[in-house]
Amino acid sequence: MGNKGSLNIVLLGAPGAGKGTQADILVKAYHLPHVSTGDMLRAAVKEGGKLGIKIKTCMDKGELVPDEIVTASVVDRMKKSDAANGVILDGYPRTLAQAESLDKALSREKRNISAVLYFKTSENVVVQRLSGRRVCPSCGKNYHVTNIPPKKEGICDTCNIKLVLRDDDKPETVKNRLKVYEERTKDLVDYYKKNGLLREVDGDLSANKLFEQINTLFKREGFVNDCCNG
Ligand code: AMP
């Protein structure tokens, strides 16, 4: 793992808050790897084996994968050389127990979380984003009917197949997902508020405007300098 000077950012926010889109921008701007536990777990399922089967069983039921499996994968990922200068953590930690075990693991490596970006969003914006989201069933790339349209309407730019609306992105389900999300993450938000790491950002802004807000914040905190974005 890298040293204390590394920039380790946690992205926290409801589904549809724009974390994935912002993660792509931050990765390019600051040359840090995007560590998404959802992606890592899907890759582990593809690899198969006993562990893959165990993970798949949890994911298929929509349950969280046991903390020790997820934390071990994240900590291992952070030991890779491309993560020495920091990481953009997306989808992790998701529970208070994960936040605590991550802190313990990082402190053993003389490393810490630099900031937690908490994407605040209003319900109508999230419903509009998620109900307009379309996903490629083959490569998993996300589009949006108006915000990020594919080149050919309804068709994946890369795979040339029909995009789909995820079942859980339907407006009637989105409201419930948001409620569940808030209940589940309340402890996590309180934890990061208490230890002074939580930074609220405006998830209702467009992706570029939100990046400006984050970059200004990072400059003020001394995480990045003025001459460049990283
Ligand atoms: P995501 O792509 O972030 O929506 O994650 C997809 C699924 O992976 C979740 O529904 C969980 O089953 C699992 N997962 C992702 N991140 C975590 C995490 N931090 N802790 C436990 N399970 C996770």
Ligand 1 is surrounded, with C-beta below 6 A, by 37-38, 41, 58-59, 62-65, 70, 91-92, 94, 98
φ/ψ of 64, rounded to 5, equals: -75, 145
Alpha-carbon distance 87 to 80, whole Å? 11
CA distance 152 to 214: 32
Indicate the pLDDT class of residue 226, thresholds 50, 70 and 90.
Answer: low
Count the Cβ atoms, other than its own, within 10 Å of residue 124.
9
The answer to whether 3 and 118 have CB atoms below 8 angstroms apart is no
Catalytic annotation present for 77 = no
How many whole angstroms from 152 Cα to the centroid of ligand 1?
31
pLDDT tens for 103-136 read: 998 898 888 999 999 999 998 888 888 889 899 9
With a cut of 80, say whether residue 167 has pLDDT above it: no
- The model carries a pTM of 0.84
Q: How far from chain centre, in Å, is Cα 167? A: 20
Atom of ligand 1 minimally distant from the CA of 59:
12
N-term to C-term CA, the chain: 19
Pick the CATH number of 7-122+173-228 from 3.40.50.720, 3.40.718.10, 3.40.50.300, 1.10.443.10: 3.40.50.300
In this predicted structure, which of 60-69, 87-96, 172-181 has the lowest mean pLDDT?
172-181
> Residue for token digits 């197949």?
161
| Of 114, 104, 40, the residue nearest 77 (C-alpha) | 40
108 in Cβ contact with 90 (< 8 Å): no
211 confidence band (pLDDT: 50, 70, 90): very high
Query: What tokens does 129 get?
Result: 């984003």
